[in-house]
Amino acid sequence: MATIQAKHELEITAAPIRTKDGAYIGEIRTFGSPVVPDNWLECNGNAYKIKQYPDLAKVIGNLWGSVTKDEFLVPDLRGTFLRGWNHGRAGEGADPDANKRKLAVGAPGSNTDVVGSYQMDEVGEHTHTISLGSKWGDKGTGPAGWAFDDGNAGTSSISTPPRNATETRSKNAYVMFCIRAK
């Protein structure tokens, strides 16, 4: 991906275009092979000339960023989980942190509720509750490592550090995301 990127207006002028084999230009699929199929491009953030992929440029514009007025970027989905577009939805089930989304570098505008915006990983605040069983006069160490002698059995809450690992993630498997280009 280019290190210097500028904003360029590249309008989206077409809905996804159906190909002869039933796929759509701009469609993103997962593949269980490291080989990119014909007519597809890996979603790795690379820049492409508009003249080389005019239909794809019409469908995605520069939602995923741009380098020059003659180029556009495909999405960079390496190591990323995909999320459905919030599209202004409010209330339960909506993205509560939609205002923390970022536009792709080189994408025009300031509205982040758009296809192509990104959100960094985060771990929500949470508490772990543990039960300590004790009686008056008991001396010991609880599961969290502190001594107790409070005369009462009960529960205590402790807060954990915000991150115990380098990321919060579901069990996962690698696939390659590709976008239909021709």
**Four-point Cα dihedral 121, 56, 38, 175, nearest 10:** 10
pLDDT band at 141 (very low <50, low <70, confident <90, very high): low
**Four-point Cα dihedral 82, 72, 114, 122, nearest 10:** 40
Please give the Cα distance from 182 to 176 (Å, whole number): 18
**Pairing state of beta strands 176-180 and 28-31?**
antiparallel
pLDDT band at 104 (very low <50, low <70, confident <90, very high): confident
Once rounded to an integer, what is the mean pLDDT over residues 86-106? 82
Once rounded to an integer, what is the mean pLDDT over residues 95-105? 82
End-to-end CA distance of the chain: 21
Burial class (CB in 10 A: 0-12, 13-18, 19+), 16: middle
| Structure confidence at residue 13 (pLDDT) | 81
**Pairing state of beta strands 127-132 and 71-73?**
unpaired
Q: Is pLDDT at 33 greater than 70 in this prediction? A: yes
| Structure confidence at residue 2 (pLDDT) | 34
Q: Lowest-confidence range among 46-50, 72-76, 128-132, 135-139?
A: 135-139
Measured between alpha carbons, how far is residue 168 from residues 67, 122, 157, 162, 163 in Å?
32, 8, 22, 11, 8
Instruction: Please count the CA atoms within 13 angstroms of the CA of 29 that sit on its side-chain side.
Output: 14
Q: Lowest-confidence range among 7-21, 59-73, 81-95, 153-167?
A: 153-167
Report residue 10 as tokens: 């590249």
pTM of the full structure: 0.71
| Structure confidence at residue 6 (pLDDT) | 44
pLDDT band at 160 (very low <50, low <70, confident <90, very high): low
Q: Is pLDDT at 56 greater than 90 in this prediction? A: yes
| Structure confidence at residue 101 (pLDDT) | 86
pLDDT band at 86 (very low <50, low <70, confident <90, very high): confident
Please give the Cα distance from 33 to 50 (Å, whole number): 27
Residue 98: DSSP 8-state? G
Higher pLDDT, 84 or 141: 84
User: In 3-state terms, the chain is what percent helix, strand and coil (to 5)?
Assistant: 5, 20, 75
pLDDT band at 4 (very low <50, low <70, confident <90, very high): very low
